[in-house]
Chain A
Amino acid sequence: MSELDKQSIDQQQHWVSDKAYNPNHIEAPDEKAKRYYKASQWRRMWWQFKQHKLALYSALFIILMYLSIPFVEFLAPYSLPTRHTDHIYSPPQSVHFFDEQGDFQGPFVYGWDYELDMVRLHRNYSEDKSKQYAVEFFSRGDPYLLFGLIPTDIHFVGVENGGTLFLLGTDRLGRDQLSRMLYGMRISMTIGLVGVILSFFLGITLGCLAGYYGGWVDNLIQRITEVIRSIPELPLWMALSALLPITWSPLWVFFGVSTILAFLDWTGLARAVRSKLISLREEDFATAAVYMGAKPKRIITKHLLPGFFSHLVASASLSVPAMILGETALSFLGLGLRPPVTSWGVLLNEAQNVNIVAIYPWLMAPAIPVICVVLAFNFLGDGLRDAADPYSNANGS
């Protein structure tokens, strides 16, 4: 609001500029406005997305998680099959920086001993303050193959020879919980992705067909959707997992079933795509394209799909956490992955009864990454959805 406007409001006077009137005068947009108007749809979405700080950090978190998947062997303090038979059901150890005298020693752990409590049949762990083991970065430990190729034995964190480092405790076989959680991440975060992608493409294709052509195509697809939606998912899962060859490993069975389920899971997306297309194909630009002789394929992919593709990305990002939660739930029932495969669901399967909650609460730790990842994906999806339509809130915030 300029000075002039204020004046005119204050004094309620009619005011005319003395300058000569130039009918060709156009107010030149400044640099900022120019950038805004020239920006592509995707650039505007990115600007909008950046506003949602929570979504931005969630996206960073998720990218970091996926980037660390190839380096799991390096990140985990111990390798997957390593068992510490002397340290069964050990609670998490604490890392110290100052010794008994209060002198700074750098990160270290004390010796980790236990006594058997013969009354409760329970091991009581305690710190042996006479022994100190330094916690080292890039330390040597269990040998492994990096990327399945390079033999090495360097781990991100480790402890001096003779010491133990159980940051999240151990399970009933004395396996390090933190290492298992890291290995579990590799499977839990990737196994359903193929299913999500498959159902994404099926949903878009069938939804487009139904929405664009209408008529009997629409009717047929609608009926199929209705039939599929009427059958609960759990029975389907049980039947399908019993059907797959028994010689397959549990990992392949799960992969197979999640792929098959994708063929049944596209209905929600197809419905959304259909209703969007129905409204979009009535728009003037779509009619214009038809009159200019564009083929249906071109109209759908060039003119209609870009109008709501970002919505689809958002909805796909929301189906990933559903898949991660589904994996944990099914593994819990014994229908999903089974040991020796290590996933978050399999790990949580060990925390199945109330005694665990009461006596060995650290076995529930794998729930933390599950919660974090599901939250992050939800915030990301939320941010994407808000950013999906960059033109609609141009005048808003």
Chain B
Amino acid sequence: MIRYLLTRIATMIPTLLAISVLIFIIIQLPPGDYLETYIAELESQGESIDPQKIAALRADYGLDKPLAVQYWHWISNFVQGDYGYSFEYERPVAEIMGDRLWLTIILSFFTILFTWLIAFPIGIYSATHKYSWGDYGLTFVGFLGLAIPNFLFALIMLYVANRYFGTSIGGMMDPEYLDQPWSWGKLKSVLEHMWIPMLVIGTSGTAAMIRRLRANLLDELHKPYVLTARAKGMSEVKNLTKYPLRMALNFFIADIGSLLPSVVSGAEIVAVVLSLPTTGPLLLAALQAQDMYLAGSFLMFLALLTVIGMLVSDVLLFLVDPRIRFQKASK
């Protein structure tokens, strides 16, 4: 086990390096840099630009150096925990992200919980009642959530929430709590606003989960061991939960890898529509303004979480599923 873990971690390092190079290239791909965006902004406001000042800024930020040097500067600092400085906000990247990270994590946590609470019972019901009306109906509802474009659903929910429930439009809390320290009132307000994004983001994910749980469970339910257990008089509930469900959950554990980064980035488009103060819109804005360090460090952070997530799900599978454990050990 330890040896397996060590080799996995060792292969992570070149992967992460390759990712960091790729991210750096992606950010540098669009022509120009942040200072050009900045100059264009100033010009549009009718302000004159002192070329010397621009040159000084360029030298300050190291934008005049070759790309390889810039890359080395960024990645070596990143490893040491210095995520760089945002041009646009004129604050360190860590500070800007920290503000929004907590709200994003809270929202994602509730969204994932919501998805699971809906998808699990429906998936199990659909598998055990294959091709029944309940199966068709629930599947249809699940697909409907998938088929409605998220941003449109968000808009409609905004309207409904404002019209019939009197919740203020957009955001994660009532305006009077903005920039206030956490309190019970603020928490209550956040929870009141939470259900719209939770519903919108959650519904788009449930269908896929229902289908996969159903397909995996159906594969298991037709196996002879289930029949044997039934013949021996095991109760139906126990016969479902004891083995078939556990087997069908492997895909679910394998999914944790992709879950981790999405917890942090949140659903960008829904967040833009609902003007949620999460990290998604921040990333979009940073990419559009070519705010190099903010975008780069954030993307790198997400990639790191993905790779860690994959490791975690592999280790969990190893621990949970004896078949995988023995297969690896015998090799």
Chain A positions within 8 Å of B, measured between CB atoms, are: 54, 223, 226-227, 229-232, 234-236, 238-240, 242-243, 321, 325, 328-329, 332-333, 348, 351-354, 356-358, 364, 367, 370-372, 374-375, 378-379, 382, 385, 393, 396-397
Q: In the complex, which residues of chain A have a beta carbon less than 8 angstroms from the beta carbon of B162?
A: 354
**B306 close to A229 (CB less than 8 A):** yes
**B26 close to A235 (CB less than 8 A):** yes
Of the listed stretches B38-46, B76-84, B240-248, B282-290, name the one at the interface; the rest are far from the partner chain: B282-290
**A371 close to B147 (CB less than 8 A):** yes
**B265 close to A329 (CB less than 8 A):** no
CA distance in complex: A54, B136 (Å): 9
18 residue pairs bridging A and B, Cβ less than 8 Å apart: A223-B18, A226-B310, A227-B18, A227-B19, A227-B22, A230-B302, A234-B268, A235-B295, A240-B29, A243-B29, A243-B30, A329-B151, A354-B162, A364-B156, A370-B149, A371-B147, A372-B147, A375-B147
Q: Evaluate whether A364 and B15 lie within 8 angstroms (CB atoms) in the complex, with A230-B306, A370-B147, A375-B144 already known.
A: no
Residue of A at shortest CB range from B23?
A: A231
**B29 close to A348 (CB less than 8 A):** no
Q: In the complex, which residues of chain B have a beta carbon less than 8 angstroms from the beta carbon of A353?
A: 155
**B284 close to A234 (CB less than 8 A):** yes
Chain B positions within 8 Å of A, measured between CB atoms, are: 11, 14-15, 18-19, 22-23, 26-27, 29-31, 131, 136, 139-140, 143-144, 146-152, 155-156, 158-159, 162-163, 169, 207, 211, 215, 222, 258, 261, 265, 268-269, 272, 283-284, 287-288, 295, 299, 302-303, 306-307, 310
Q: In the complex, which residues of chain A have a beta carbon less than 8 angstroms from the beta carbon of B261?
A: 230, 232
**When A and B form their complex, what is the total count of cross-chain residue pairs whose Cβ atoms lie within 8 Å?**
123
Q: Evaluate whether A333 and B152 lie within 8 angstroms (CB atoms) in the complex, with A230-B307, A239-B29, A375-B144 already known.
A: no
**A329 close to B19 (CB less than 8 A):** no
Residue of B at shortest CB range from A240?
A: B29
- Besides A226-B310, A234-B284, 16 more A-B contacts (Cβ < 8 Å) are A223-B14, A235-B26, A238-B30, A243-B29, A243-B30, A321-B147, A329-B150, A333-B284, A354-B155, A354-B162, A358-B163, A372-B147, A374-B147, A375-B140, A375-B147, A378-B207
**A367 close to B306 (CB less than 8 A):** no
**Other-chain contact of B299, A231, A325, A328, A348 (Cβ < 8 Å):** A231
**A375 close to B143 (CB less than 8 A):** yes
Q: In the complex, which residues of chain A have a beta carbon less than 8 angstroms from the beta carbon of B303?
A: 230-231
Shortest CB-to-CB span from A177 to chain B, Å, is 15
Q: Evaluate whether A239 and B19 lie within 8 angstroms (CB atoms) in the complex, with A232-B302, A234-B284, A354-B158 already known.
A: no
**B29 close to A231 (CB less than 8 A):** no
Q: In the complex, which residues of chain A have a beta carbon less than 8 angstroms from the beta carbon of B295?
A: 235
CA distance in complex: A356, B288 (Å): 27
CA distance in complex: A230, B262 (Å): 11
**A329 close to B310 (CB less than 8 A):** no
Q: Evaluate whether A378 and B146 lie within 8 angstroms (CB atoms) in the complex, with A232-B302, A239-B30 already known.
A: yes
**A348 close to B159 (CB less than 8 A):** no
CA distance in complex: A358, B155 (Å): 10
CA distance in complex: A236, B268 (Å): 14
Residue of B at shortest CB range from A321?
A: B147
Residue of A at shortest CB range from B159?
A: A357
CA distance in complex: A234, B27 (Å): 12
**Other-chain contact of A332, B22, B140, B211, B269 (Cβ < 8 Å):** B269
Q: In the complex, which residues of chain A have a beta carbon less than 8 angstroms from the beta carbon of B258?
A: 229
CA distance in complex: A356, B27 (Å): 35
Residue of A at shortest CB range from B14?
A: A223
Q: In the complex, which residues of chain A have a beta carbon less than 8 angstroms from the beta carbon of B287?
A: 234-235, 238-239
CA distance in complex: A208, B149 (Å): 34
Shortest CB-to-CB span from A243 to chain B, Å, is 5
**A329 close to B149 (CB less than 8 A):** yes
**B29 close to A367 (CB less than 8 A):** no
Q: In the complex, which residues of chain B have a beta carbon less than 8 angstroms from the beta carbon of A227?
A: 15, 18-19, 22
Shortest CB-to-CB span from B186 to chain A, Å, is 24
Q: In the complex, which residues of chain A have a beta carbon less than 8 angstroms from the beta carbon of B152?
A: 348, 351, 364, 367
Shortest CB-to-CB span from B328 to chain A, Å, is 14
Q: In the complex, which residues of chain A have a beta carbon less than 8 angstroms from the beta carbon of B265?
A: 232
Residue of B at shortest CB range from A242?
A: B30
Shortest CB-to-CB span from B58 to chain A, Å, is 20
Q: In the complex, which residues of chain B have a beta carbon less than 8 angstroms from the beta carbon of A235?
A: 26-27, 283, 287, 295, 299
Q: In the complex, which residues of chain A have a beta carbon less than 8 angstroms from the beta carbon of B136?
A: 54
Task: Among A332, A353, A356, find the residue whose CB has the most chain B CB atoms closer than 10 A.
Answer: A332
**Other-chain contact of A329, B22, B222, B269, B283 (Cβ < 8 Å):** B269
Q: In the complex, which residues of chain A have a beta carbon less than 8 angstroms from the beta carbon of B139?
A: 382
Q: In the complex, which residues of chain B have a beta carbon less than 8 angstroms from the beta carbon of A374?
A: 143, 146-147
CA distance in complex: A97, B296 (Å): 63
Shortest CB-to-CB span from A263 to chain B, Å, is 13
**B156 close to A371 (CB less than 8 A):** no
**Other-chain contact of A371, B18, B30, B144, B299 (Cβ < 8 Å):** B144
CA distance in complex: A363, B31 (Å): 36
Q: In the complex, which residues of chain B have a beta carbon less than 8 angstroms from the beta carbon of A370?
A: 147, 149
Q: In the complex, which residues of chain B have a beta carbon less than 8 angstroms from the beta carbon of A396?
A: 222
CA distance in complex: A11, B207 (Å): 53
**A382 close to B148 (CB less than 8 A):** no
Closest 10 CB pairs of A and B: A242-B30, A374-B147, A230-B303, A230-B306, A239-B29, A239-B26, A357-B159, A371-B147, A375-B147, A328-B149
**B143 close to A378 (CB less than 8 A):** yes
